[in-house]
Structure 1
Amino acid sequence: MTQDLLADSVERLLADCCTPQRIRDIEADASIDKLWRELNESGFMDALVPEAKGGAGLTLTDAFAIVYACGKHAVPAPLAQTMIVRAILANAGMTAPSGPIAIAATMQRDGNNGFVCPRVPYGRVAEWVLVEEAGSWRLLATKAAHSNSSGVHASQESDITWSAVPADAPRIDAPIEARVLGASLHAAQLAGAMARVLDVTTRYANERTQFGRSISKFQAIQHQLSVMAEHTFASRMAAQMGCHSTSHLPDPDLAAVAKARTSEAALIVASIGHAVHGAMGFTGEYELHLFTRRLHEWRAAYGSESYWTERIGASLLAQRDTTVDFIRARLFPEV
């Protein structure tokens, strides 16, 4: 399947099953079971699983269109996260569960046998969470845990607490940090969400009239839209870099660049989108907030731009190449 065919297929699926009203319903605590069955039956969640294990055998580069579309359609379920964890489990010779899988950035011990994973993206709807500890990944069931909402309106993040590590939870060697997995995927989702905000805002500016003409004819609005477009397309390029890989796993340095650039742009794009819309953008019936809320939440998930730019700087200082050589060798792979 070519990149264009894959992109068209996933776009059609998500446009049909992730309508704005369905997203609102799930955010208001409606069940995701029916949506999850539809997504599971599509086969996209096995895109990164090797062909020998029943999947499509795609690389993360190939699967970028799937992750990007998850952001563009504000999918209220961890499709992309489940996709990559299924590949991890398959390559470790393990059978993946059928339910939604979230990825925790960190885990904190509570002083006894328990621990908490704070602000887990999609934690409210996940049945399983990939947790990292001491260089290993463990897949833990949320039914054995206590979940606390983040307290933010309609957010799907939650703090998940286990009283003890389940004895039967298998260990998988972790070649990279779980935070890197999440950062790479969220960068692509951020890029997709920004593209949707740009589309919605441009359409509104063309349709909204003031003083006898559409507001898109005013130079001030045109300037705002051009800034939004600049950040949106730069973010897509950065997100594609973050998913550039010959396997199912991202490169840590490329993921860092992708998350830093998309997180930086997210606030700008969200701000301009609401500025152009005015009061209309804040109404519950309008779709803009479904994406701008996610831009704010996903910007911080797995580390904001300040965290990842610091990581890039540390990576640069840890080797002896010049800055230019580092950029050429590590941040601009041949594609």
Structure 2
Amino acid sequence: MQDIAKDSPSAFGQEPPAAWPRLVELGLTAISVAEDAGGSGGTFLDEVVLCEQAALRGLDLPLPTNLVASWVLGHGDQAVTPVTRGLIVDDGFDDGRLVVPWGRWLDEVVLIAADGTVSVAREVNVVTTGEDLAGGPVDTVALGGVVEVGRWAGQRTTARARAGILWSAQVLGAARGVHALARAHVMTREQFGKPLVRIPAVAASVAHMRTGLIQLESVVERAALLAERDAAGGFLEAAAICRTIADEVATDVAARGHQLHGAMGITEEYGLGAYTRRLWSWRDADGGARRWSELVGRAAREGGESAVWDAFTA
């Protein structure tokens, strides 16, 4: 595994990470958009793999928002140019100002209203700058040049669901990174002449982390497959389950990773901190587990527990 602490600094400079322009140039920010619309002609599963693998390799990139924003435009027969896009799925905004990840580097922002109206703001002016828990840029921007490009039923729900699954895939990648570091540490670090992993409580903690990863891998894959089958957004409950489990796994894996390392004096010089800060940040990136848990709860209340189960396993 690469040196995450060296290759993935917690603070951003004046330019996006070096990998980002290359990804845009290669068309990897519009994977599931048809080639004749300016995309790569790939699948949603390809997007899931990209998000997971980028996170595993310590890349803090706005892939979920860019991928979904590009898909929305391509799905509506709009030409998708290779630019950096933001995504806002909301009913509106006050005074034209919004807080968005990577605001300072966005070329345009795709806005989806509650009625499915899709607009594009091609003037993105930074009002104030800020950062998330991982040191990534989160800025307040004023939008201008807003142009309505279409109205597509179900677009808001589908976009939310796709983004939720992609955020979960990023959490999975970072959680895999924490598990790999923790496992290597306890297998090589010795105490009383034996590796730490020989201590039953340590071995059990590593196994618990792995169990969480398997669970999250399963729900992400299942939700992605449902998304491939149902482009109309009928997989929102599956996405919500993804996000709630991703929240649980992110919290548990981050805590156990620090516990197993001793968590003393190594979070900056070692890759552990880079991973866990991103786990905490991405866990809450699109509204947090509470909003998604409420969605699952409403679905269960309205259709019964079996309806939620059937929606995810059918």
Superposition TM-score tier, normalisation by shorter sequence? 0.7 to 0.9
* Higher RCO, 1 vs 2 (CA within 8 Å, ≥6 residues apart): 2
- Residue in 2 aligned with 1:88? 72
Q: Are the counterparts in 2 of residues 125 and 156 from structure 1 also a CA contact under 8 Å?
A: no
TM-score w.r.t. length of structure 2 = 0.85
Shift of 1:35: 2.4
Q: Partner of 1:3 in structure 2?
A: none
Match of 1:206 in 2: 187
Aligned-residue Cα RMSD (Å) equals 2.8
Corresponding position: 1:323 with 2:314: no
Give the total of aligned pairs: 308
- Letter matched to residue 75 of structure 1: L
TM-score, length basis structure 1: 0.80
Structure 1 residue 308 corresponds to structure 2 residue 292 = yes
Deviations 1:214-249 (A, max 9, x none): 211111111111111111221111222232222667
Q: 1:126 aligns with which of 97, 106, 119?
A: 106
SS of the equivalent of 2:77 reads coil
Task: Check the 8 A contact 1:124/1:149 in 2, yes or no.
Answer: no
8 A Cα contact 1:100 1:127, kept in partner: yes
Question: Within 5 Å, which residues of 2 pair with 1:31-50?
Answer: 31-32=15-16, 34-50=18-34
Q: Which secondary structure state, in structure 2, belongs to the residue aligned with residue 144 of structure 1?
A: strand
Name the residue aligned to 1:175: 155
Q: Who is 1:287 aligned against?
A: 271
CA contact under 8 A between 1:122 and 1:156: conserved in structure 2?
Answer: yes
- Structure 2 unmatched ranges of 5 or more: none
C-alpha contact (below 8 Å) 2:244/2:292 kept by paired residues: yes
5+ long unaligned stretches in structure 1:
1-14
Alpha carbons 1:260, 1:305 under 8 Å: kept: yes
Matched, 1:24 2:9: yes
Find the aligned partners of 2:241 and 2:139 in 1 and give their Cα distance. Answer: 26
Q: Deviations over 1:169-217 (max 9, x none)?
A: 5445352334434322101111111111111111111121222122111
Question: Structure 1 residues 255-264 or 60-69, which shifts more?
Answer: 60-69
Residue of structure 1 in register with 2:86 after alignment: 102
Q: C-alpha distance in 2, partners of 1:201/1:314?
A: 38
Change (3 A) 1:167 1:275: closer
Q: Percent identity?
A: 20
**1:264 corresponds to which of 238, 248, 254:** 248
